[in-house]
Structure 1
């Protein structure tokens, strides 16, 4: 079981956080289902179902019963995906014709769903650079190709202020977000796979990613409200 989880999903399934109900294989699996990111649980359950169906003598002899079980697993995994707390679609958008963007978004999603935020940090930073460059270009604001992420966000935040796109109550939050993107840029350069670095602790990387996700989702809501006035 440990080998299957490691080889198929890169997961140490017998880590302590999955064993609150006990250390047996059944209890460990139950703990994993309760604790892990729902989309990851859905992927694992589909993988386990496929493995089970590939084993001789493991399927139900009654075709009707087998169909009922298949229907249940499909329904349950679909519900898990809908229950995910990750706001990936709200934060990471397909905003241009850049052919690398779908692959970048898919790679970020795969690592975040697999609960590897420390691995995703460098690509999250790359996405943010692309997004803010595009948002500035849409406003006719030129950006230095060598400008760091936080400088791009600073220029974007100034554009929002000049447009009156955010209220006086949100402006202080934008100033705080400038430091957020400066921190993300530093983490990417010094604590990610972008270079030969020691990775961030998972909890720290998750905190940074969660905060960036919330910021990007807010920005996308601002941009969505702005578009009708451009028609």
Structure 2
């Protein structure tokens, strides 16, 4: 979604933007607040909208930023408004209270539009506690809209995830086997077992082998795995979406296998021994 005219008007009224201001911020404090909230310099040229006032800077932010970032900043501004209202720093009435509630609902919708569609697929496929913590930290980074910071962890996660798949299918490997080779062996096993129904799906998965080989280079040269200049936001999002989409599909292949194991265990537990 994007902010509609009516939704923008709700925030404009609550924040007193008609005057050109945003709440009681000065230029300096507004810059600091936005920087602390979303890690962005609101006085960058791309946010220079209209007269360049604080209110227009915020409008410029609405025009160019992702829904998630917009929601994140508006959420912080709503928190600040509530703090100011409760401390008596600003005057408000029942209409403002209702408007604040409406704005919270709008923010929730904005933040629900995560830039990585299948981020919930980033889940450990074993009981390894460290693996679970790793997966959680990656999801948290995406929820904070910081994909660039998580590329090295996503690479580590993907290696652990694919290694577990290989173990599940009795595919031999060692600690030195690179990610793309692990995945190549896994795809070959899926094809051999007849778990892939179409030639197109097979081709898509095989194309992912070369993609994951390139991921090794990103991890080594464009992530925080080493002292690197990290990859830009948009390409990081592309990588996250590509990897999470593949993992989501692999779940559909592996889930029946897991459920079948659970059914067998239940059947053995039912035997009168």
Are the structure 2 counterparts of residues 61 and 108 from structure 1 closer, same or farther at C-alpha, using a change threshold of 3 Å? same
Structure 2 residue matching 1:154: 3-state secondary structure:
helix
Residues of 1 paired with 2:50 and 2:143: CA distance? 23
Structure 1 residue matching 2:109: 3-state secondary structure:
helix
Are the structure 2 counterparts of residues 124 and 71 from structure 1 closer, same or farther at C-alpha, using a change threshold of 3 Å? same
CA displacement, residues 176-196 of structure 1 (integer Å, 9 cap, x when unaligned): 100111111111012211012
Are the structure 2 counterparts of residues 168 and 25 from structure 1 closer, same or farther at C-alpha, using a change threshold of 3 Å? same
1:32 aligns with 2:61: yes
1:213 alignment counterpart: 244
2:11 alignment counterpart: none
- 1:227 Cα offset (Å): 4.2
Equivalent position to 2:125, from 75, 84, 95: 95
Are the structure 2 counterparts of residues 30 and 108 from structure 1 closer, same or farther at C-alpha, using a change threshold of 3 Å? farther
| RMSD of aligned residue pairs (Cα, Å) | 2.7
**Which deviates more from structure 2 when the two are superposed, residues 41-50 or residues 215-224?**
215-224
1:191 aligns with 2:222: yes
Equivalent position to 1:68, from 88, 92, 98: 98
1:141 alignment counterpart: 171
CA contact (8 A) 1:88 1:109 kept: no
1:54 aligns with 2:83: yes
Aligned length: 230
1:43 aligns with 2:72: yes
1:105 aligns with 2:130: no
- 1:19 Cα offset (Å): 4.3
Q: Which runs of 5+ in 2 are unaligned?
A: 1-29, 264-273
Residues of 2 paired with 1:93 and 1:154: CA distance? 21
2:212 alignment counterpart: 181
Residues of 2 paired with 1:128 and 1:215: CA distance? 10
**What TM-score, normalized to structure 2?**
0.72
CA contact (8 A) 1:53 1:59 kept: no
1:152 aligns with 2:182: yes
